[in-house]
Chains A and B, each alone.
Chain A
Amino acid sequence: GQNIDQPTEMTATEGAIVQINCTYQTSGFNGLFWYQQHAGEAPTFLSYNVLDGLEEKGRFSSFLSRSKGYSYLLLKELQMKDSASYLCAPLTGPDKLIFGTGTRLQVFP
């Protein structure tokens, strides 16, 4: 079976740093994606990890540990527009991208 766990909600203040954790148990693993989704809109790609370690991309970084089934998304210098849901999505097969329940992040001034 597939199991993906993320915190349901998080809050932070503008300018701060927030880390969103994701643990997963999947029958296959071909890499892990993070997506951002604003309400009523399509998910947009943020980052991709296939090997262990940290991938940095501007204000966003993502980390993966395959042996631990763990990933996190780090958002720095938070802005109000970062208020959104963040979805952890393991690629469990060559063509099967599964989403976690998402973490709703609210950024306050």
Chain B
Amino acid sequence: AAGVIQSPRHLIKEKRETATLKCYPIPRHDTVYWYQQGPGQDPQFLISFYEKMQSDKGSIPDRFSAQQFSDYHSELNMSSLELGDSALYFCASSSQGREAFFGQGTRLTVV
């Protein structure tokens, strides 16, 4: 069965650079979520989309933005990167409010 695909799996950026993370949800899923998980931390909700429209926002810094495209893939754009942005970034998708399935994550390291 198709799963949530995230790319890249690993990314190394320097401070003040920009990063773009991509997520391809499970086909026919109507909701996409983005999470940030620091070392030893729980996943922190960043933002979600329902049917390509932003539906809810969590603790997402102003330097971050996200969108969902017509083909349902989503991108998380992160600018002016800081050392503290180093984390695992998960994307998840769900259908009709049921369980969310997670991608394998993108490990971002800012140096």
Give A contacts to B, CB under 8 Å. Answer: 30-31, 33, 40-45, 48, 87, 91, 93-102
Measured between beta carbons, the chain B residues less than 8 angstroms from A102 are 42
Q: Out of A94, A98, A99, which one reaches B97, CB within 8 Å?
A: A94
Measured between beta carbons, the chain A residues less than 8 angstroms from B31 are 95
Interface of A (DSSP majority class): loop
What 1/0 flags go to B84-111 for Cβ under 8 Å of A? 0000101010100111111111000000
* B50 close to chain A: CB less than 8 A: yes
CB within 8 Å for A87 and B33 given contacts A42-B104, A93-B56, A94-B50:
no
A63 to B52, CA, bound (A): 33
A44 to B4, CA, bound (A): 12
* B49 close to chain A: CB less than 8 A: yes
Interface range, B side: 20 to 34
Query: Are the C-beta atoms of A42 and B42 separated by less than 8 Å?
Result: no
16 extra interface residue pairs, beta carbon distance < 8 Å, beyond A31-B97, A43-B90: A33-B99, A41-B105, A42-B102, A42-B103, A42-B105, A43-B102, A45-B101, A93-B56, A95-B48, A96-B58, A97-B48, A97-B94, A98-B58, A99-B42, A99-B45, A100-B42
A45 to B3, CA, bound (A): 13
Query: Are the C-beta atoms of A95 and B56 separated by less than 8 Å?
Result: yes
Measured between beta carbons, the chain A residues less than 8 angstroms from B94 are 97
A45 to B43, CA, bound (A): 14
Measured between beta carbons, the chain B residues less than 8 angstroms from A98 are 45, 58
